Amino acid sequence: MPNGDTAEVSANRLSELEIELVDLCVRLAQFLGLPKSLGEIYGAVFISPRPVTMEEIIERHGISKGSASQGLRALKMIGAVRSQYIPNDRRDHYVAETGLGHLVAGIMRNRYEPAIDDFGVRVGDLSRNNRKAEHNEEFLRQRVEKLEHWQQQAQQIVPTLRQVLGRGEQ
């Protein structure tokens, strides 16, 4: 049972510094094209020195239950957050993953790689049809080739990023 009496006042407010840290997480999320709430939730976990429950996040940050639930699921999926077992407590407790390489890799895997692959498939189809369709103008064929080249370059980016960001994790 939550602490009782005087407690109906909101659980400990966020300090200035905590607010700023969460703010940065929100900006980061938006930079990456993720919804603001993911940034808030990640921030909530990031600033906590010990594993947090969904309820704490909801209380301290004023997020709806639905957002919190869905947001945590998404963050788990990209590996930004993981849940940690706490004895004698039925609730899930979350801990932030803080390696930038790890975070970026998760986002890549879930968001970017599928799109790059899809692009590859489409360009592949196109260039296959391109060959047998002899009435195409030469110019458009060159454009299709250009896209194939883009696709090849895009494929190289993922491993390269991994290399740059993979160092210095703890």
**Binding of its own copies at residue 19 (CB under 8 A)?**
no
Contact characters 43-82, its own copies, x per CB under 8 A: ---xx-x---------------------------------
Element (H, E) at 93: strand 93-96
Q: And the tokens for 140?
A: 């458009």
Residues 11, 60 contacting (CB under 8 angstroms): yes
Least Å distance, CB 91 to its own copies, is: 22
Neighbouring C-alpha atoms within 13 Å toward the C-beta of 136: 16
**Binding of DNA at residue 131 (CB under 7 A)?**
no
Q: And the tokens for 111?
A: 């968001």
Q: Tell me whether residue 21 or residue 58 sits nearer to its own copies (CB atom).
A: 21
Residues 110, 73 contacting (CB under 8 angstroms): no
Neighbouring C-alpha atoms within 13 Å toward the C-beta of 110: 17
Binding site for its own copies (CB under 8 A): 2-3, 17-18, 20-21, 23-24, 27-28, 31, 33, 46-47, 49, 98, 100-101, 112, 115, 118-119, 122-123, 126, 129-130, 133, 135-137, 139-140, 143-144, 146-147, 149-150, 153-154, 156-157, 160-161, 164-165, 168
